[in-house]
Structure 1
């Protein structure tokens, strides 16, 4: 099914990140790749189908928080196949005039309006030789079921030592929000921040020496379950007993706000996206139009995590060329603390389907 394949694409992509701050969306790229695969031929079809083998519904149509849009623009006079016209009906199609001064603002406006302004331009740039552009826009906006208390913090150790950061703190009596996955990358503390509708965000803190390419795929793989370790053994987790008015265990979370941007050139690793063969000369997409080859493939992404909620957007685009209470007695209470005070990963997950909408790594949180 598409959700499983889209999550696999996200995990593979994340495994090729370096350890700098970044964000990506396999869920945003997958429908575009699957649509191209349906209308490709030869080696291009085989490569694309290996990455995006089906075009099943991702289960987002009824989502109150998440939107996925597809846009297509072709050069005036470019013949389009009947099967392509059925898959991409007229309301989704636009025309390229061949004048970049006219066409680029139209594409940029489409990207901005379908992401509520989070992405203000189309990631590909058109010129007079551009035959067509195919794009997807994914946007996510959710509030928290339980907001955080904003403040500031100044870590005493680690890579953020001495920096004044925008801190977020929360207390919760639901210890199940914290799970410690036992993965090939070691222990990963997974905190589910529950959204007020159908999207949750999972914060993933690995062991201190584990980088993004290890922690993020491990976190994605652990979403469906798997072996765990005791909560108190998780990275960033401490446990203590305090005097309190009740004996209900409590989870205290301290993390940071962040805003992460990234611009990805998918053709830097075309094999990862099934696009290697499609970049050479040939008749790769006869179902769309004769003698097309991929000229550009890019994704622009932004994600923001605050005290009140989370929002993110990703625009993925391919450009082609033709031919080319009162006081009471106190009792002991068990308290788990999770302190996210060094680089960590995050996953925005559609709750009903398990689709990872965006995944990212935070190294430069919001300053206070």
Structure 2
């Protein structure tokens, strides 16, 4: 099953980066969004179901199983972790099927006390991101009927650490600055970590793989200066997924290929070891971003399910008509000499569709004066016992727990 969901999740990420990466600093996590969309797809009705199915790239009928597998893959990683949470309003009737597909440990309740609910969900974010993020990316209001959220973290140290160095670019948009940049560099004989995706829709793209000590690597990618960043990232993802042929390592020493490889310069130096070496230089970064998923609803299949319709769009969750009211992601990432750390929290909130939640009357009944009772045989309707309680028992303190003796 993971063989189908991995390319599907990656394809969603590729479409997202092409949509939003315009040259400004940003970071996003399609892997954090995909399981939430998969759960929604499994619970939705047409025509929203078809839109969500196209967005996630797998059959909506089994999408909830794929979502659980995706979350399980993160749980099995040594450098990445994933958490999933679902909170439903105390007054929302929830379908048995929804209870069945959502793990019990992931379920919580919204009380309707906005401040308390928001505080509890923000605390969930802090606990599941190691305090890298401190709040849920959506607000919880009195009409919030449902919240789905994922928290994804990555924490790995480099197998071969970088060295901090000052960097002064000689050309390009970073050249000519008054202050030098916080650079990172290291040398290795593993030249196959450098590859060229020569024939991509975005032109040639250079890929540098930085290995983590655990099971997570970071791949740096560089395209030609005139190419759109989103196209370069999408091409790099296609190359990483094996869709585009890569030229590796020492082959890039050939002049014809070296000249095509963005960012590469081939030099000669005296050395005791005649083997080619790779010197990799980049910059530190510590970036954060906030994303409103509904601003790009078409990418995520949320166009229909976020519209107000008195029938609602998520009958698999509740017979109460529901529509997606908010969808957002907060994410940060740090690349340093020692390693890479990142956290992403994605949340989708649903509200009643067609009309706001209304105050509901609650029947509170208390038998605090004499009352009667009947004992009824349900199959036959036979009254087995009838009685009246005129004098209740008095309250007595329960016996204390016996002390344990050794």
- Using structure 1 for the length normalisation, give the TM-score: 0.85
Does 1:92 find its partner at 2:110? no
2:186 — aligned with what?
170
Going by fraction, where is strand more abundant, 1 or 2? 1
Q: 1 CA distance for matches of 2:201 and 2:263? A: 18
Tell me which moved more, 114-123 or 228-237.
228-237
1:210 — aligned with what?
227
Structure 1, gaps ≥5 residues long = 325-368
195, 219, 239: which one aligns with 1:222: 239
Going by fraction, where is helix more abundant, 1 or 2? 2
Q: 2 CA distance for matches of 1:77 and 1:192? A: 50
2:349 — aligned with what?
319
> What does residue range 73-112 of structure 1 map to in structure 2 within 5 Å?
73-112=87-126
CA contact (8 A) 2:312 2:322 kept: yes
Does 1:277 find its partner at 2:281? no
2:321 — aligned with what?
291
- How far does residue 16 in structure 1 lie from its aligned partner after superposition? 0.8
1:28 — aligned with what?
32
2:262 — aligned with what?
235
Q: What SS does the corresponding residue of 1:278 show, helix, strand or coil?
A: coil
5, 9, 33: which one aligns with 1:6: 9
Q: Name the structure, 1 or 2, with higher relative contact order (CA <8 Å, separation 6+).
A: 1
Does 1:140 find its partner at 2:154? yes
CA contact (8 A) 2:7 2:241 kept: no
Does 1:194 find its partner at 2:218? no
Structure 2, gaps ≥5 residues long = 253-257, 355-406
Q: What SS does the corresponding residue of 2:91 show, helix, strand or coil?
A: coil
Equivalent residues, number: 324
Residues 73-102 of structure 1 show CA distances to partners (whole Å, capped at 9, x for unaligned) of 111121111111011133211111212211
Q: 1 CA distance for matches of 2:209 and 2:8? A: 22
- How far does residue 299 in structure 1 lie from its aligned partner after superposition? 0.7
Q: 2 CA distance for matches of 1:60 and 1:264? A: 22
1:67 — aligned with what?
81
Does 1:259 find its partner at 2:249? no
Q: 2 CA distance for matches of 1:89 and 1:174? A: 44
- Indicate the structure (1 or 2) with the bigger Cα radius of gyration: 2
Q: 2 CA distance for matches of 1:318 and 1:300? A: 12
2:384 — aligned with what?
none
Residues 233-282 of structure 1 show CA distances to partners (whole Å, capped at 9, x for unaligned) of 31110102211112011000111010111110010111110111101123
- Using structure 2 for the length normalisation, give the TM-score: 0.78
Q: 2 CA distance for matches of 1:181 and 1:46? A: 34
Q: 2 CA distance for matches of 1:243 and 1:306? A: 30
Q: 1 CA distance for matches of 2:82 and 2:298? A: 25
Q: Which runs of 4+ in 1 moved over 4 A?
A: none
Does 1:39 find its partner at 2:57? no
